[in-house]
Amino acid sequence: MKKLTGILSIALFLVFILTPAVNAADLPKVIKIGGQGITSGSKADYGHQMILGAQIAVEEINNSGGILGSKVEMKFMDSELKAAVATKNARYLVKDWGAHFLFGIDSSGISMALAAIMPQLDRILIICHGATHKLNEEAIYKKGLRNTFRMCVPTYQDGILPAMIFKDRPDIKTIASLAAAYSYGYDSWEMFEKTLKKYRPDIEVVAKAEAPFLHMDFTPQLNALMAAKPNLILATPWGGEGLMMLRQAILLGLFEQPWFKVWFQCMGGSIDMAEGLTPDVKAGKFHGKLWGTARYLWNWPDTPRNKAFVAKFRDKFGRFPNYSAANVYTAIYAFKQAVEQTKSLDTQKLIKALEGMKIQAPDGERWIRPEDHQACYTVPAGNYVYDKSVCPNAFLGNLVVVPWKKYFRNPPDYKLP
Amino acid sequence: MTWLTNTLVLSINSHRFKLVWLGAFIIFLFILPLFSGDYLLYMVMQMAILCLLSYSVNLLLGYTGLLSFGQAGFYACGAYACGKVLLAGASLLPGIVIGVAVAAIAAIILGFFCVRHTAIYFAMLTLAFGMMIFSLTQKWVNFTGGDDGLIGIPRAALNFFYIFNIKMDTIPAYYYFVIAATLIAIYILYRILNSPLGLIFQGIRDSETRVSFVGISVRKSRLICFTIAGMYAGLGGALLAPLEQTITPSASHWINSTDPIIATLLGGMYNFSGPIVGSVIYFLLKDIIVRFTMNWMLILGIIIIILVLTFRGGVMGAFRAYLLPWLKSRLRQGA
Amino acid sequence: MDNFIFQALNGLSSAMFLWLVAAGLTVAFGVCGILNIAHGSLYMMGAYFAFTSFQILGLNFWLSIVFALIGVGIIGFLMERFFLRRIYAQPIEFQLILTFAFILVFDNLTKMIWGTMLIIPTMPSLFQGTIPIVGRPFPIYNLFIIGAGIGVAVGLWLIMERTWWGKKLRAAASEREMANAIGINIPALFTAAFVFAALLAAIGGALSTPIRVCDSGVGGAVIIPAFVVTVIGGLGSLKGAFVGALIIGVISSLCTLYIPFIELFILYLIMAVVLIIRPQGLFGGER
Amino acid sequence: MDEVILRSERLTKSFGKFIAIDNIDLKFKSGIITSIIGPNGAGKTTAINLLTGALHPDKGKVFFKDKDITSLTPDQSVKHGITRSFQIMNIFPMLTVLQNVELPLLSLLGKNLKWFYAVSRYRDVAEEAEKILRELSLWDKRNKVAGELSHGDQRALEMGMAIAPKPEMCFLDEPSSGTNPLERASILELIKRLAEEGSTTFVIIEHDMDVVFSLSDWTIVMNKGKVLAEGEPDEIRQNKEVVEIYLGEEV
């Protein structure tokens, strides 16, 4: 208690700098949108791509007159991939900075944590990367946390889609899992196994391995899997971890094995992976066995709209847009559309407007399912190819398109539109 | 100007004026919700929780001479236990009490092993135990929710039989609860540190052998200290659970143990108010840097480096060593 | 059984990375008495430098290792000379926090310099391919890593036991006052020792580039397992660090095979048990 | 007054290959000042460490008033009434002088687990502390931080901490080491006074012959872990062997 004196001055200082000044009036001059994603550590590129996507959207909107005349201002923060940081950021963005709308978010855990507090913050959150099916099936549909939407495909993409594709491959009889040791990895595998078994009871799970966050040496896991000689491996570690894992798999000679047919890298279509994999794809190290999908692919569909988006992105940043960029871009446009439709920033009205909304994304129309706030759209899967005339990086080619209606799970009392 | 220095020096030196400052500070905390927004209150609550964690660290570091890298483990014990209890539908008080109790039990069990060591071995052992708790929170999916953590913890009402029942769902309501709990906890710690037990802790910091040769069991005293420290960390966690309404395993990661250590060093570790000052400054520093730049780690890192190389006594230490004599000399000149 | 042997061999190669990080950590702690949390960041810088010279400047594999050594050596020198030197006399908490701050600085600097793109350079053709061991393909590069790790161990042993400089280091580590008395320039020796420790980290980092991603989070990720290793082997004991790395590498590799759920828990459990039963570690001297 | 208060039987302690204490039998009589002398490395401090529980012997036993106290820890042996001071200064440098003497009193007065009221609230502790500090002539400096005292005052303070628990037996390990002649004289004076006034049996380890011969009633000479000779100071002064290995180098 000796020197509590200093505290008072600090407290006074605190009041000076932090007294908040904002509250939402109907359509203020500046509409503030707040994003967050992971921009530090080994997955920093996902957040970084979100910033790029958001920058394009904000610039386009402001150049074409803003949202009903209001300029858009964006602030983006580092979620550090921690729920505690993300909730704090969200509170800061809404309560102090005065954000009217939130977007971004990379992980399942953070998605769930934020969905729980969004009603208190009384804002809309559109998640652009976190993929857990628990968000739409449990948090939004069952618990009714209706302030949260998702502008990206859920784990159906990582689990059910590959099952739909490979159920028709008679040469695949044994499968194995290399899971990211958290719910995204477990959920994806569970969906994959369940779906595949439904169509192909003969298929056998021969091995399972898992790796936690920040794992660097995958040889023990790979080795354990290779001992069981699976025809297919479904792998969920993403970003830098996925890249290391694939390099180590090459070194172990996995792709040389005649019994090995398919490596399905769930988020393998991500740009950071594509860039990193390029030398090995170019050298033919994968023998065409590396498959992947993503939550948006820059090379699908081959429409003028998508091409224009990709060209603009490349012009500006010298890279290809990742799905986190495209989804953030779309999310911001969805918000714009909702505001324009309701002519207000009232959260409840915006929720109503977003439910069932059809929005034009770079890759075509997405429909926000009213029951569970899930954006429904198709993303194909493919295997890695390299073609210099198309792209300096490796990319997913030989795309297999399965319409979303065939592999999305539906809410129980759901009727197709 | 002279008047100002006059008042300042007086207020620093005399006990009565110190109490006036303290009273003003507490009143300030209690009237804050009248004129501030929710985010400021939320931040003050976060600071209060960091402050409890820093006291937990400083009780060990500044008062008993032990550097713990595992306080985040007890913090998580408190948070998870409280979260579980609240999810089961209990009211706020049992949640907090059970959170603290679970942290205390964990501290007694792990402390039994830890207090046999000092210095780096103690630091490493607490690190190991903290990370064991971390891997438990991550892998014991049925109980802890695994990597997603406990989600949607209710901010239950504060009721005590039929005597009172206060709703906690607004930020200001919970703010009063957190501030009251923190102030009471800090007051109790103040009493402990000035009591015979606190004197023994400080004796152990200065000279372990001497303490044992005046007839006091060093291990037993250290275990008591470790347990109290665990309880404070647990209280911080227990208060966090209803605030954040989500608890994830990263709460128990060792990186989380470094925050209160930095805050303590920042404030000054041989000073009772050091952890308060340190937590407030550290939290503001981080919060403000994050707002202005994505390169917050660089700036924070540089600030910490400068701090460690120049002001090892922390802010309060520097205040005492430089500012106070200066003020006094100014006063003398004026007189 | 084959599986067991093969997995153990795999563990051996990952143990060597642990060893390279732990060896530098041990030298810095043993001689300078500093527990450098930022040691993992030096490893990371080694990886970044090696990548830069290999992929961007087009130097060959060996030259890029040399490049990494020079770069990290300079960083280590600056770090010791201008920062760490000032806190040798301070209690451990200041050392830990100062070096922790360096993690933040290094992480952010690498992000600013190399961006957020993930980087994994091509494997030099010399090390491509596998050779069969117990009927299974084992990567040549992993064999090379095992060889390199053992080579560094032997080299370190020779330096420490057979050279005058090594004797000075050991003298400084065990009897500081005595070393001073017989005319060893302690500050210079400490700088040299710390740079030497940084070089060991750089070798580890440089060797990791073909199979591990360079990214700005690596520093924090490798340091904690390295702590586990040095604690098990005995703080300040090189022999201990080597054996500790083997134990941890092989055990975690086998856990991945048989009990993947509690791999992390087991590592820390081993660390805790060693600290409780034998705090000086398996090969450490008296406390 | 001639009864033996503390004795050891075949006490042995070695560190690695070095035998510090080799099978010795020591006897200390109650009520007199005994001194232990011997050259460096003779095992004096090790002997005290064994007798007070700081170390435990490899072999042999220690009896205090015929009770076996061999395996007691220091804090337990203090409770039996054995205290000590240290050769290398061992006080609480960051605490005040007053707190330095209050601490030993807490255990004696059973206050060591009190956790709510300030130390100054406990009257018995305060009174006792004042008495001791006045005895040491440190009362005026009671609010100073102990680490800032002069060397002689620190020595006196350490002695005060050793006698604060009112021990039956108190070992003083080179109480005058590092002091100037003036301080030394006052410390010797203090020991003498304490020995005469109180009921404490003192054992002093010393290097300084003047101290030994002016102060002690009984002298034990140790060398290489063994007891070389014992007797009254005058006898020792005459002992040829002692003069040869020990006194010779100083005289």
Of the pLDDT bands very low, low, confident and very high (cuts 50, 70, 90), residue B3 is low
d(CA C173, CA C167): 10
Chain B residues touching D73 at Cβ < 8 A:
212, 217
Determine the angle formed by the axes of helices C39-51 and C92-114, rounding to 10 degrees: 20
Are the CB atoms for D59 and D12 separated by under 8 Å?
yes
pTM of the complete model: 0.86
Do residue A248 and residue A286 come from a single domain?
yes
pLDDT of A43 reads: 83
Both A117 and A75 in one domain: the answer is: yes
Please judge whether B67 and C96 are an interchain contact, meaning their C-beta atoms are less than 8 angstroms apart.
Answer: yes
Domain boundaries, chain C: 2-125+134-277
Mean pLDDT for chain C? 84
For residue C24, pLDDT over 50 is answered with yes
* Per-residue pLDDT at D250 exceeds 80: no
Partner B contacted by D86 (CB < 8 A)? yes
Q: Which of C275, C276, C277, C287 to mutate to test the interface with B (most CBs of B within 10 A)?
A: C275
Residues from chain D that touch B221, judged by Cβ atoms under 8 A, are 112
Q: In chain A, which residue's Cα lies nearest the Cα of B20?
A: A5
Query: Which residues in A lie closer than 8 A to residue B315 (C-beta atoms)?
Result: 6
- Contact indicator for A176, A230 with CB cutoff of 8 Å: yes
Is residue B217 pLDDT above 80, yes or no?
yes
The Cα–Cα gap between D234 and B33 comes to 83
Percent helix / strand / coil, chain A, rounded to 5: 45, 20, 35
Q: Does residue A9 sit within a domain?
A: no
Q: For residue A25, what pLDDT is reported?
A: 42
Q: Give whole-number Cα distances, A124 to A58, A83, A102, A347, in Å.
A: 17, 18, 6, 7
Say what the pLDDT of residue A8 is.
53
Tell me which residues of chain A have a pLDDT lower than 50: 1-2, 18-25
pLDDT at res. A1: 45
pLDDT digits (tens, 9 = 90+) for D136-193: 888 888 888 888 888 888 888 888 888 887 888 888 888 877 778 787 888 888 888 8
Q: Give the model's confidence band at B12: pLDDT under 50 very low, under 70 low, under 90 confident, else very high.
A: low
Tell me the average pLDDT across B272-295: 85
Give the Å distances, CA to CA, from B83 to A300, B76, B137, B151, B248.
45, 10, 13, 9, 11
Gap between the Cα atoms of D40 and A289, Å rounded = 78
- Whether residues A212 and A283 share a domain: the answer is yes
Based on the fold, state whether residues A273 and A180 are members of the same structural domain.
yes
Q: Do chains A and D touch (3 or more CB pairs under 8 A)?
A: no
* Structure confidence at residue B105 as a pLDDT band (50, 70, 90): very high
- HSE-CB for D160 with a 13 A CA cutoff: 30
- The reply to whether D150 touches chain B by the CB within 8 Å rule is no
d(CA B153, CA B145): 12
Q: CA of A381: how far to CAs of A53, A244, A410, D65, in Å?
A: 22, 21, 21, 88
What is the rounded CA–CA span in Å between residue A214 and residue A193?
26
| pLDDT range class, residue D251, cuts 50, 70, 90 | very low
Give the residue from C187, C207, C196 showing the smallest Cα distance to C163: C196
Which range of A161-170, C9-18, C166-175 scores highest in mean pLDDT? It is A161-170
Q: Which of A223, A238, A255 to mutate to test the interface with C (most CBs of C within 10 A)?
A: A223
Given a cut of 80, is residue C28 above it in pLDDT? yes
Q: Is B164 on the interface with A (CB under 8 A)?
A: no
Identity of the residue in B195, B203, B270 whose CB atom sits nearest the CB atom of D118: B195
Q: Please tell me the distance in Å from B66's CA to the nearest CA on chain C.
A: 9
Chains B, C: CB pairs < 8 Å = 113
User: How far apart are the CA of C90 and the nearest CA of chain B, in angstroms?
Assistant: 9
Over residues C142-161, the mean pLDDT reads 89
B54-86 pLDDT, tens digit per residue, is 999 999 998 888 889 999 999 999 999 999 999
* CATH number where A349 lies: 3.40.50.2300
For residues D218-235, give the mean pLDDT: 82
Is A70 within a domain? yes
Per the DSSP assignment, residues forming a β-bridge with D37 are D221
DSSP A138: I
When mean pLDDT is compared across A175-179, B27-31, C219-223, the lowest value belongs to: C219-223
What does the radius of gyration of chain B's CA atoms come to, in whole angstroms?
A: 21
CATH number of the domain residue D13 falls in: 3.40.50.300
Q: What is the DSSP letter of C119?
A: B
Give the pLDDT mean for D106-114.
77
Contacts of A143 (CB under 8 A, 6+ apart): B152
Residues in chain B within 8 Å Cβ distance of D90 = 207, 209-210
Give kind and range of the element (H or E) at residue A247.
Answer: helix A240-251
Closest partner residue to B214 (CB to CB) among D95, D103, D122 is: D103
Which residues of chain D from 16 to 55 reach within 8 Å of chain B, CB to CB?
Answer: 52, 54
Does D167 contact chain B (CB < 8 Å)? Answer: no
Interface contact A275, partner C, CB < 8 A: yes
Sequence-separated (6 or more) residues with CB below 8 Å from residue A153: A131, A295, A375, A377, A379, A404
Question: Are A161 and A252 found together in one domain?
Answer: yes
The CA distance from A143 to the nearest CA of chain C, in Å, is 30
Tally of domains in chain A: 2
| Within a domain: A368 | yes
Do residues A91 and A234 both lie within one domain?
no
Residues A245 and A368 in one domain: no
Give the DSSP per-residue string, A305-345: HHHHHHHHHHHHHSSPPPHHHHHHHHHHHHHHHHHHHHTS-
pLDDT for A21 equals: 39
- Chains touching chain D through at least 3 C-beta pairs below 8 angstroms are B
Question: Looking at the domain assignment, is residue D99 inside a domain?
Answer: no
Q: How far apart are CA B142 and CA A85, in angstroms?
A: 24
Residues 188-207 of B with CB under 8 A from A: 190
Domain that holds residue D73: 4-91+165-250
- Average per-residue pLDDT for chain B: 86
Please determine, for residue C32, whether its predicted confidence score (pLDDT) is greater than 70: yes
Q: How many CB pairs under 8 A join A and C?
A: 126
Distance, in angstroms, between B40 CA and closest chain C CA?
Answer: 27
| Mean local confidence (pLDDT), D62-87 | 85
Range of the domain at A317: 23-153+304-376
For residue A412, is it within any domain? no
Query: What region does D114 belong to: left with phi over 0, alpha with psi -120 to 50, or beta?
Result: beta
Cβ <8 Å between D115 and B210:
no
**What distance in Å separates residue B296's CA from the closest CA in chain C?**
8
Shortest alpha-carbon distance between residue C95 and chain B (Å):
9
**Number of domains observed in the structure of chain D:** 1
CB contacts of A18 in chain B (<8 Å) are 36, 39-40, 43
Same domain as A257, residue A165:
yes
Domain membership flag for residue D152:
no
Is the separation of the CB atoms in C230 and C36 below 8 Å?
no
Tell which of D78, D92, D101 to mutate to test the B interface (max B CBs under 10 Å): D92
D161 at interface of B, judged by CB pairs closer than 8 A: yes
Which pLDDT score, from 0 to 100, does residue A417 have? 56
Q: Which of C43, C113, C128, C213 to mutate to test the interface with A (most CBs of A within 10 A)?
A: C213
Q: Which of C63, C120, B295 is nearest to A242 (CA)?
A: C120
| Nearest Cβ partner for B199 among D73, D102, D162 | D102
Asked whether residue B4 carries a pLDDT value surpassing 70, the answer given is no
> CA nearest C79 in B: which residue?
B305
Cα separation values, D212 from C271, D6, D198, D244, Å: 51, 20, 20, 17
- Fold classified for C2-125+134-277: ABC transporter involved in vitamin B12 uptake, BtuC (1.10.3470)
